[in-house]
Amino acid sequence: MNINVRSGNCDSADKVLQDFISNINYETAHHRIKTQDIKCGFGLQGVCCRLCANGPCRITPNSPKGVCGATPDQMVARNFIRSVAAGSASYIHVLENSLWALKSLGEKQLDIKGIQTLNNLASSLGIEENDTHKKAIILADFLLDDLYKPSFKKMEAINILGYTPRLNNWKALDIMPGGAKSEVFDALVKSSTNLNTDPTNMLLHSLSLGISTGFYGLTLTNLINDIIMGEPRLKISSVGMKTIDPDYINIMVTGHQHALHKGLEDIINSESVKTLSDQLNVKGIRIVGSTCVGQDMQLRAKDLDGVFSGQAGNNFTTEAILATGAIDLVVSEFNCTLPGIEPIAKDLNIKLIATDELAKKESADLLAVTPENAETVAKALVKEAITSYTLRRNKVKINIPENHGSDNALTGVSEGTLKEFLGGNYQPLINLIASGQIKGIVGIVGCSNLVSGGHDVFTVELAKKLIAKDILVLSAGCTSGGLSNVGLTSLEASQLAGPNLRKICEELNIPPVLNFGPCLAIGRLELVAVELAKALDVDLPQLPLIISAPQWLEEQAIADGMYALSLGLPLHVAKPLFITGGPAVTKLVTEDLLNITGGHLIMNEDVDTTVSTFDEIIMAKRYSLGI
């Protein structure tokens, strides 16, 4: 094949993966990063504008304004709000699809697995209905109506379910969001040529987008998925490419929309597929987890025996997973599906199917899933997987690094299972924090990228140094995949923790890094934080809690970050956001925001000084709480 693998690839915290990629005859993102190491300085600072034909304009000492007169801060703010709007739109799209799926389950009177979550959420929203399926329909309609409101009508669910101190802060700032889709629309209009020129106004609008993104696109999507797919359950699992079994027909899924896969999971687990597998002399059909949808399946792995093989890796592991030769079909339904997988799939004759038109891949067939055709598409996917297997398996060499990943990983951690594990309330965790046995909590969340030291390098080093200081780490997103594959979510990782945290981990039989699953599960961390704050009768900014998205990658991560800042939490990124060319914007988010929402942005590319900063913040918050 004519694929030019450049000499060398980037570092990875996952050395088994790095060695595997070094020895395959395929170009991956780990190689291409070497050819893209020279970055545009204007783009890095956010001071490049291409909104009109007079551009692209760049800010330099000799050209301090664009042709239209736009200042550096105006350019930066416009670029920034557009990124936040795009990220918000992506998450709201996922929730929207989940709600239509839930409504369809109710209308067709199909199995609803998360009855407890349905009852709790409906009750909290004042929905009174005894019939489970009618209740699901009413809930879906209520939340869809919220999403579709105009921007001048505030969404209702957040006003009912939100944490009162935060709601009061948002109302005082006038950043309570209107309809989520309208907020995205308004942000795009606002940032167009020669319209809004007020950086502060655009930053406040970005906070509104962060609130609707986080509360709806993250927190509520988790709860809707729990209703459709079943609540998470704790399980000790293996992770990594070692979970791929070549004796099965393997389907790799990529994306975020777990609700779209219910039909596929049901078909794979059916007696007809088991009979067909016997006829083909294979063990069966399995879904191989990758990216965030795999993380979401892993949350429910205890209920997916016979369907789910395990979580093989995060976004920048997908090319390597395909290079094993053991994947027969790729089902892509959203982002984190790298274009780089397509030439590898073509060479290995792996069929690609896109199930969401918004995420259509160039070389994939489109079988768009709707509530009406979900079962038909699921059957078609199984048929395609079987056909692909029969056409390709005797022509390819299987090469799975059997030692990739780790064992004894604790999966299925959620706000619910953690609370249940602690005895039905968070008081034991509060007691551990108050006594100093757990110094504080850091949520390491978001994506993986290849520029902050390499693949998962900053993420893994940060986690190791934090747990060594008796700081508990909660993870969500592709960070979880990286942390899991190097063993930090396994029980044995307690050996790397500080003496106090290690003792707790050994007594409770838990790892020092608790994996909450996909990036959507950042919303679950917010639920935990609110429970802790309520128990202590404080607002979220007072908690010894920090959010770090050390290796953020995409616009969705920026929208997530705005949610953290709206919650009043310190937010860290390693690679700076593309705002540093705007001094007023940078000062607003790194300093002034402390007196606005209580949160602030920390941009630091050095692991050791980042840990020191975190330690100082946590100790200051402990002092303020009197603990």
DSSP string over 97-162: HHHHHHHHHHHHT---S-HHHHHHHHHHTT---SSHHHHHHHHHHHHHHHHTS-TTSB-SHHHHHS
Residue 97: the pLDDT is 95
Confidence of residue 615 (pLDDT cuts 50, 70, 90): very high
pLDDT score of 1 more than 60: no
Structure token digits, residue 34: 């070497």
Structure token digits, residue 584: 């007023």
Gyration radius (Cα) of the chain, Å:
24
Residue 9: the pLDDT is 86
The model's pLDDT over 97-126, given as tens digits with 9 standing for 90+, comes to 999 999 999 999 999 999 999 999 999 999
User: Which one is predicted more confidently, 37 or 145?
Assistant: 145
Residue 499: the pLDDT is 97
Three-class SS of residue 315? helix
User: Considering only 50-54, 372-376, 429-433, 603-607, which range has the smallest mean pLDDT?
Assistant: 372-376
pLDDT score of 72 more than 90: yes
pLDDT score of 474 more than 90: yes
Rounded-to-integer distance, Cα 285 and Cα 292, Å: 20
The average pLDDT across 492-500 equals: 97
pLDDT score of 2 more than 60: no
pLDDT score of 160 more than 70: yes
537 to 307, 524, 541, 619: CA distances (angstroms): 43, 20, 12, 19
pLDDT score of 46 more than 60: yes
Per cent of the chain over pLDDT 70 is: 99
Find the length of the chain: 627
Per cent of the chain over pLDDT 90 is: 93
- CA torsion 296-299-305-311 (nearest 10°) is 60
Q: How many other CB atoms are found less than 10 A from the CB of residue 239?
A: 30
The model's pLDDT over 206-246, given as tens digits with 9 standing for 90+, comes to 999 999 999 999 999 999 999 999 999 999 999 999 999 99
Rounded-to-integer distance, Cα 531 and Cα 426, Å: 7
Complete domains list, the chain, with CATH: 72-229 (1.20.1270.30), 241-395 (3.40.50.2030), 412-625 (3.40.50.2030)
The average pLDDT across 268-290 equals: 91
The model's pLDDT over 579-589, given as tens digits with 9 standing for 90+, comes to 999 999 999 99
The model's pLDDT over 351-396, given as tens digits with 9 standing for 90+, comes to 999 999 999 999 999 999 998 899 999 999 999 999 999 999 999 9
pLDDT score of 6 more than 50: no
**Secondary structure of 60-108 as H, E, C letters:** ECCECCCCCCCCHHHHHHHHHHHHHHHHHHHHHHHHHHHHHHHHHHHHH
Three-class SS of residue 257? coil
Of 430, 592, 408, the C-alpha closest to 493 is: 408
Residue 118: the pLDDT is 98
In degrees, rounded to 5, the angle at the alpha carbon of residue 313 between the alpha carbons of residues 212 and 268 is: 85
Residue 5: the pLDDT is 43
8 A C-beta contact, residue 473 and residue 513: yes
Mean pLDDT for the chain? 95
Residue 624: the pLDDT is 96
pLDDT score of 66 more than 90: yes
Cβ within 8 Å of residue 426, ≥6 positions away: 419, 528, 531, 532, 535
Residue 336: the pLDDT is 86
pLDDT score of 453 more than 90: yes
Residue 305: the pLDDT is 85
The average pLDDT across 445-473 equals: 97
pLDDT score of 617 more than 60: yes
Residue 4: the pLDDT is 40
Query: Terminus-to-terminus CA distance in the chain, angstroms?
Result: 63
Residue 412 identity: G
Confidence of residue 416 (pLDDT cuts 50, 70, 90): very high
